[in-house]
Amino acid sequence: MQRRELMRLLASAGALPLLAPLARAAAGKDDWQTDFEAAGTRWKTGFATPPGDLPLTRAAVRGRFPDAVAGTLFRIGPAGHDLGGERYHHWFDGDGMVHRFVIDGADVRHQGRYVATPKRVAEVQAGRRLTEAFGTMPPGVEPPTSADSINVANTSVLPLQGEVLALWEGGSATRIDARTLDTLGVKTWRPDLAGMPFSAHPKVDPDGTVWNFGVSSGQGLLALYEIAPEGALRRAAVVPVADMPMVHDFAVTDRHLVFLMPPLVYDTKRKEAGASFLDAHVWRPELGMRALVVDKQNWEKRRMLTLPAGFLFHVGNAWEETTPRGTLIHIDYVRSENADSVFTTNREVMRGRRVKSTDPHLTVVTLNLDTGTATQTTLAQEAEFPRIDPRRVGLRHRQVIHATQIRRDLPGFGAVARTDVESGRSQRFSYGSEAIVEEHVFVPDGAKPGWVLGTVLDFGRQKTVLSCFAADHLAAGPVAQATLPYTLPLGLHGAFVKA
Ligand SMILES: [Fe+2]
């Protein structure tokens, strides 16, 4: 692609609003807030809105957290779900709250702060919603002036060079002070990339290189980023993708970027007709699950392979090998039959209702780059929030840490598991019948088996609990737990930074 053409595409992707402008007439409030308040489910505190920031608070610790996990677990998730008596209609809409759990042996402290995005600051001041969200078009909202005017910074965190970036896939990363959780403003990698989408799932190579992507749905463009370990942008470009789907996560191998693209396709006409960003997407299973493979060194070298239709949010890891059968990319991901979870389950929780959708399962794919064939095997384990040893990103791995044990009557998962994606063997720890598991991360410990660190909403006791497990003895239960004197809203992703 010529540089001039690249600049034109980048400029159009950054300058145009991600979501089509369509002001809606003011209308009366709906019933979602009253439905939520009336719901009798005790788990609904996981979707409640903290009225403000949560000051640094000491947890009650049982046991002692190992030296390898001395440091800070940063987490983030949607937290500002309602404002001015109106409630968002989707879990993913809410204003982001960033958390830090500062861990030092038997001392654990927690702090939570809303990310002071321009959207949150303006809306709190106004006492009502002013712009649309991922899955909700509140009545009377103004058209977005840019992608960042609706950025809620609520999805994941990337520690980079002493700062923490709060990520939201539709727009810029937001810089956060790692010690105070102060919001420092949006991250601009290069002036001409201001406001470009930067996904919530960057991948960090073992050498520290950061790879990421962003989806410009309306423009049908996939932005690619390569960032040096010291935080400077090395390269960025956009590549066109026909029938642009919702892509939330991706994978890297040592030579390729790999995108699994579910057939949930953005339809500009639906957006222009007033749909939310989510509802502008159409399920088109005839497209299958496309697998786009991009050469890391030369982004012009791209291959598209196809798997049976399915939906995913998250990828565990990918790696590749050269064999007599061809160059094979192995990738594991969390597969659902369809996208009902994002359209229904993750909506209805906002009024305190549990609607079950198809169970997501760990699934292992092999892409043969020489023959163009793609095959997959679905494992027995229900799963979400897959994480691996960060030292194995893009390299052969076997162990995936993930949430598991879907409940019929509760949203989410009740157990954390460690599954060997080659043998299918798995061990798990169940938190019991009154707990909802959040993402657990793997923390390395030199050549030792390492640790698993994660949070759970214990709605029986109405507390959020941080647990640490020996990674090779997960089923034996936590070696240490820190119980907060309050519950946190159920969040999405986190990252551990060693002290
Ligand atoms: Fe995610």
Tell me which DSSP letter residue 140 carries: T
Give the three-state DSSP class for 287.
Answer: helix
Separation of 439 CA from ligand 1 center, angstroms? Answer: 10
Compute CA 225 distance to the chain's CA centroid, rounded to the nearest angstrom.
18
Q: How far is the CA of 62 from the centre of ligand 1 (A)?
A: 30
Residue whose pair of structure tokens reads 């937001």 in the numeric block? 174
Of the candidates 116, 150, 156, 153, the one whose C-alpha atom is nearest the C-alpha of residue 134 is: 150
Dist. CA 385 → ligand 1 center (Å): 7
CA of 493 to the centre of ligand 1 (A): 7
CB neighbour class for 162 (10 Å; exposed up to 12, middle 13-18, buried from 19):
exposed
Longest dimension (CA), the chain: 65
Ligand 1 centroid to 199 CA: how many Å?
A: 9
Contact partners, residue 264, CB within 8 Å, separation at least 6? 245, 246, 281, 282, 283, 284, 311, 339, 342
- Could you give the 3-state DSSP secondary structure of residue 123? helix
CA 29 / ligand 1 centre spacing (Å): 30
Where residue 28 falls among pLDDT bands split at 50, 70, 90?
Answer: low
How many other CB atoms sit within 10 Å of the CB of residue 422? 13
CA angle 59, 64, 66 (to 5 degrees): 115
The percentage of residues in the chain with a pLDDT greater than 90, rounded to a whole number, is 92
Are 175 and 163 a contacting pair, CB within 8 Å? Answer: yes
CA distance 237 to 298: 11
Query: What's the pLDDT at 23?
Result: 40
What distance in angstroms lies between residue 392's CA and the mean position of ligand 1's atoms?
19
User: Across residues 53-77, what is the average pLDDT?
Assistant: 98
Q: Rounded to an integer, what distance in angstroms lies between the CA atom of residue 315 and that of residue 333?
A: 4
110 is in an annotated binding site: no
Q: Ligand 1: distance of its center to the CA of 63 in Å?
A: 31
Q: What is the C-alpha separation between 197 and 213, in angstroms, rounded?
A: 8
Instruction: Judge whether 201 is annotated as a binding position.
Output: yes
Q: With a cut of 80, say whether residue 7 has pLDDT above it.
A: no
Tokens (6 digits) for 474: 């997960």
The Cα–Cα gap between 182 and 178 comes to: 8
Express each pLDDT in 205-249 by its tens digit: 999 999 999 999 999 999 999 999 999 999 999 999 999 999 999
**249, 203 in Cβ contact below 8 A?**
no
For residue 201, the CA-to-ligand 1 centroid distance in Å is: 7
Residue 352 neighbours by CB under 8 Å, 6+ apart: 35, 36, 38, 39, 40, 41, 44, 47
384 CA from centroid of ligand 1 (Å)? 9
CA distance 394 to 318: 5
State the pLDDT confidence band at 27, using cuts at 50, 70 and 90.
low
pLDDT in tens, 213-223: 999 999 999 99
160 Cα: distance to centroid of ligand 1 (angstroms): 18
CA–centroid distance, 197 to ligand 1, in Å, is 15
SS3 435: strand
Q: Separation of 75 CA from ligand 1 center, angstroms?
A: 12
Instruction: Say yes or no to pLDDT of 161 above 50.
Output: yes
Contact 167, 156 (CB under 8 A): yes
330-370 pLDDT tens trace: 999 999 999 999 999 999 999 999 998 889 999 999 999 99
Q: Is the pLDDT of residue 6 over 70?
A: no
Q: Alpha-carbon distance 73 to 56, whole Å?
A: 14
Give me ligand 1 centre to Cα 27, in Å. 33
Residue 281 marked ligand-binding = no
C-alpha–C-alpha distance, residues 50 and 64, integer Å: 29
Give distance in angstroms: CA of 310 to centre of ligand 1. 17
Residue 162 Cα to ligand 1 middle (Å): 22
Cβ neighbours of residue 383 under 8 Å, at least 6 residues apart?
A: 334, 360, 361, 362, 400, 402, 403, 404, 417, 419
Average pLDDT over residues 133-138: 96
Using a CB cutoff of 8 Å and minimum separation of 24, what contacts does 358-363 make? Answer: 359/406, 360/312, 360/334, 360/335, 360/336, 360/384, 361/334, 361/335, 361/336, 362/316, 362/332, 362/333, 362/334, 362/335, 362/386, 362/400, 362/402, 362/419, 362/421, 363/310, 363/332, 363/333, 363/334, 363/335
User: Among residues 269, 189, 184, which one has the least CA distance to residue 232?
Assistant: 189
In this predicted structure, what is the pLDDT of residue 26?
44
CA-closest candidate to residue 220, choices 194, 201, 247: 247
Give the H or E element holding residue 344: none
Distance (angstroms) between ligand 1 centre and the Cα of 440 equals 13
pLDDT band at 15 (very low <50, low <70, confident <90, very high): very low
Phi and psi at 69, nearest 5°, equal -105, 15
Domain borders along the chain are 3-498
Residue 90 among known ligand-binding residues: no
pLDDT value at residue 497: 98
313 CA from centroid of ligand 1 (Å) = 6
Domain 3-498 has CATH 2.130.10.10: yes
Could you tell me the distance, in angstroms and rounded to a whole number, from the CA of residue 247 to the centre of ligand 1? 10
Ligand 1 geometric centre to CA of 126 (Å): 30
User: Residue 20: what pLDDT?
Assistant: 39
Give me ligand 1 centre to Cα 361, in Å.
Answer: 15
CB 79 within 8 A of CB 114: yes
Mean pLDDT of 440-460: 98
